[in-house]
Amino acid sequence: MSAQSFGCDFGTSSIKIYSKESDTIYCEKNMVAIEEKKGMIAYGNEAFDMHEKAPANIEVLYPMSFGTVASITYMQQFLRAFLEERTKGSLKGAEFIVALPTDVQDRVFTTLIHGTGIKTKNVELIDKPVAAGLGLGLDVTQAQGVMLVDVGADTTEISILSLGGTVTSKLIKNGGNKIDEAISSAIRREYGYFIGNKTAEFLKNELGYQPGDTTTRREICGRNMALGLPALLEITADFVANAIAEQLKSIVDAIKMILERTPPELGVDIIRNGIFLTGGVANLKGLDGLIADATNIKVNLVEKPEECVARGLERVIKEKEFRSLTFITKEQDYK
Ligand SMILES: Nc1ncnc2c1ncn2[C@@H]1O[C@H](COP(=O)(O)OP(=O)(O)OP(=O)(O)O)[C@@H](O)[C@H]1O
Ligand SMILES: [Mg+2]
């Protein structure tokens, strides 16, 4: 087995990479900062820090969008620079296991890795929900009727697994970013304040979904649009709950739709095992209760839900019996 094995979850807002060599999951903002003429000047958390603050000649962007690659060149430059830095220049003969989101072409990631210029031993793919199931500690090759809901930044992936395979899977274009946008537009509409994306995200992460809670509040800074000046504003948890209710409802409705289509034999297992909520938005206060109330099924939460897929990739790399769950794409046969 190769000494350098990487398990990659190319998330829209953050990239998670398990490295066998250092036995660590790295999690960094999936952003690059591009300066005219110079090219990539920063990546990861450093690029994120420049976001919404950079001068006009520096563009800060996400190379991934809605679970797929938006800019292959920048994603490749990021990956290469990131891994070279982590392996202190000793990157060679590496193997890659990549989590493949529902509805995304498998060849995209194989092409991406091979195009980085990193000397690569092999690239294998695994369905992202299967990796998430492993990351939850489940033996997905045996388990029957497991429902996973991964709420990420751009996407929500709802899947039913049984015996190592995906029975049903649906990817919807809704997640943390849409929830942040809903908060920004409610504040613009109700208060006439313009706020940045990071502020909207702060309110979502701090206050979550707590309808009726007018006591918990956070102070933020926005631009008063009438005066054109920066000013402070207090926002209550109840305000945020109302602002995001519609986005959360569309996630809950999609979960219900999948449950309605689930064969009854698997439905019994799901009721018994509960729904597993993963992805960064699983941290959203009150989301588990909302899903449990709407479906009458208990919802299981885990620590660091955003790293669940990467933890599953770690198991694929370490535990031989899960290798049968991976596959390679045609592109690779030509190498
Ligand atoms: N405490 C929290 N409450 C609510 N949302 C949170 C919290 N912590 C993180 N998030 C949100 O989780 C999202 C990131 O989750 P994750 O890392 O799973 O997404 P991703 O894998 O990059 O995206 P995708 O899976 O859509 O490609 C962001 O929208 C972030 O704001
Ligand atoms: Mg994700």
> What is the pLDDT averaged over residues 217-233?
97
Q: How confident is the model at residue 223 (pLDDT cuts 50, 70, 90)?
A: very high
At residue 52, does pLDDT exceed 50? yes
Consecutive H or E run containing 204: helix 197-207
Following DSSP, what letter does each residue of 235-298 receive, concatenated?
A: EEHHHHHHHHHHHHHHHHHHHHHHHHTS-HHHHHHHHHH-EEEESGGGGSTTHHHHHHHHHTS-
Q: What is the pLDDT of residue 144?
A: 87
Q: ∠ CA(329), CA(280), CA(170), 5° rounding?
A: 50
Q: Give 34 Cα–ligand 2 centroid separation in angstroms.
A: 24
In the Cβ-directed half-sphere of 274, how many Cα atoms lie within 13 Å? Answer: 15
% helix / strand / coil in the chain, to the nearest 5? 40, 30, 30
Judge whether residue 332 has pLDDT over 60: no
Banded pLDDT at 219 (limits 50, 70, 90): very high
pLDDT of residue 53: 86
Residue 234: predicted pLDDT = 98
- Percent pLDDT > 70 in the chain is 98
The alpha carbon of 157 and the centre of ligand 2 are apart by a number of angstroms equal to 9
**Spacing of C-alpha 206 from chain mean position:** 19
3-state SS, residue 137: coil
Q: Is 152 in the pocket of ligand 1 (CB under 6 A)?
A: yes
Residue 301 has pLDDT above 90, yes or no: yes
CA distance 236 to 212: 9
Ligand 1 close to Cβ of residue 288 (< 6 A):
no
CB distance 312 to ligand 1 below 6 Å = no
Domain boundaries 141-301, CATH class: alpha beta
Q: Taking the domains of the chain in order of start, what are their residue ranges?
A: 5-132+308-333, 141-301
Percentage, residues of the chain above pLDDT 90: 90
What average pLDDT does this structure show over 273-279? Answer: 97
Best of 281, 283, 304, 309 for a ligand 1 pocket test (most atoms within 8 Å of beta carbon): 281
Q: How confident is the model at residue 95 (pLDDT cuts 50, 70, 90)?
A: very high
Give me the pLDDT at residue 54, please.
86
CA separation for the pair 159, 165 (Å, rounded): 10
Structure confidence by residue, pLDDT tens digits, 250-268: 999 999 999 999 999 999 9
Query: In angstroms, what is the span from residue 220 Cα to ligand 1's centroid?
Result: 21
Q: Which residues contact 198 (CB under 8 A, 6 or more apart)?
A: 51, 52
Mean pLDDT of 197-206: 97
Pairing of strands 58-61, 64-65: unpaired
State pLDDT tens for residues 116-172: 999 999 999 999 999 999 999 998 998 889 999 999 999 999 999 999 889 999 999
pLDDT of residue 335: 41
User: Which residue's CA is minimally distant from atom 15 of ligand 1?
Assistant: 280
- State the pLDDT at residue 88: 86
- Is the pLDDT confidence value at 2 over 60? no
The least confident of 52-56, 64-68, 236-240 is 52-56
CA of 248 to the centre of ligand 1 (A): 14
Coil/strand/helix, residue 300: strand
Domain 5-132+308-333 -> CATH class: alpha beta
Please state the atom number of ligand 1 nearest to the C-alpha of residue 154. Answer: 26
**What's the rounded Cα separation, in Å, for the pair 54 and 47?**
10
Q: Quick one: which atom of ligand 1 is closest to the CA of 201? A: 31
155 lines ligand 1 (CB under 6 A): yes
pTM above 0.85, yes or no: yes
